[in-house]
A = this chain, B = another copy of it.
Amino acid sequence: MNEKKFRPGSFPDFEPKLVEEIEKDGTLRRLEPGEELIRPGNYIRFVPLVLQGSLKILRQDADGKETFLYFLTKGDTCAMSLSCCTSNRPSTVRAVAEEETELVLLPVDRLDTWLPLFPSWKTFIFQAYQRRFDDMLEAVDSLAFRRMDERIWRLLKKKAALQDRRYVYATHQELADELSTSREVVTRLLKKLEGMGKIKTHRNRIELLAK
């Protein structure tokens, strides 16, 4: 790994030997907000471990319409990457940095070789699948059972929780894209939430007043 060291603080359960291996084989990578790590069609040649910041994972349809799936944060990895790169198929999702984000990229084959060697790695991989599965179920719930105002409200809370818990820095258009709806609908429903005293809107920024 480059000059910088892998700080295992984000992965407290990894045993020292595994940390050593990661430091040896991993590449540090820093993403600016909005920078793309993975786009649909890419073949993924690495397993990303998130050290700091967050990535949002989005699904696209044929015309480029998007819908938000889930966030990856400190200590997470991407199950899509795991399954895509082990089976050598192109990605079907998009991964974008939600904020300034730092990751370690591991060569794909380490996934397999470390499984029998490090119990903490095996646990990590299985937990990753499990958490992503839960996230996908949450995404389905949102799409199948909730109305747009609640979906917006929940998205805002999730985004706020990633950072300073008070402000969400996003335009109405950006929120609309993540929810696969239109900007006008977001504006209207934000006004409604504002009327309910849950938020206050500003330009490029939304202030959360309630929990």
Copies of this chain in the oligomer: 2
Q: List the one stretch of A17-25, A95-103, A129-137 in contact with chain B.
A: A129-137
A129: nearest chain-B partner, CB-CB: B129
Stretch at the interface among A79-87, A160-168, A188-196, A197-205: A79-87
B59 touches A140 (CB 8 A): yes
Assess the A133–B80 pair: CB atoms within 8 A: yes
Query: Apart from A61-B145, A136-B140, what 10 extra A-B contacts exist at CB < 8 Å?
Result: A59-B140, A59-B141, A65-B144, A83-B129, A83-B133, A92-B137, A129-B129, A133-B136, A136-B137, A143-B144
Task: Mark interface residues in A107-149 (1 if CB within 8 Å of B CB, else 0).
Answer: 0000000011000001000110110111011011101110000
Q: Which residues of B contact A180 (CB under 8 A)?
A: 144-145
Q: Which residues in B have their C-beta under 8 angstroms from that of A79?
A: 129, 133
The count of chain A contact residues (Cβ–Cβ below 8 Å) is 31
Judging by beta carbons under 8 Å apart, are B59 and A126 in contact? Answer: no
A126: chain B residues at CB < 8 Å are: 83, 86
Q: Are the C-beta atoms of A132 and B133 separated by less than 8 Å?
A: yes
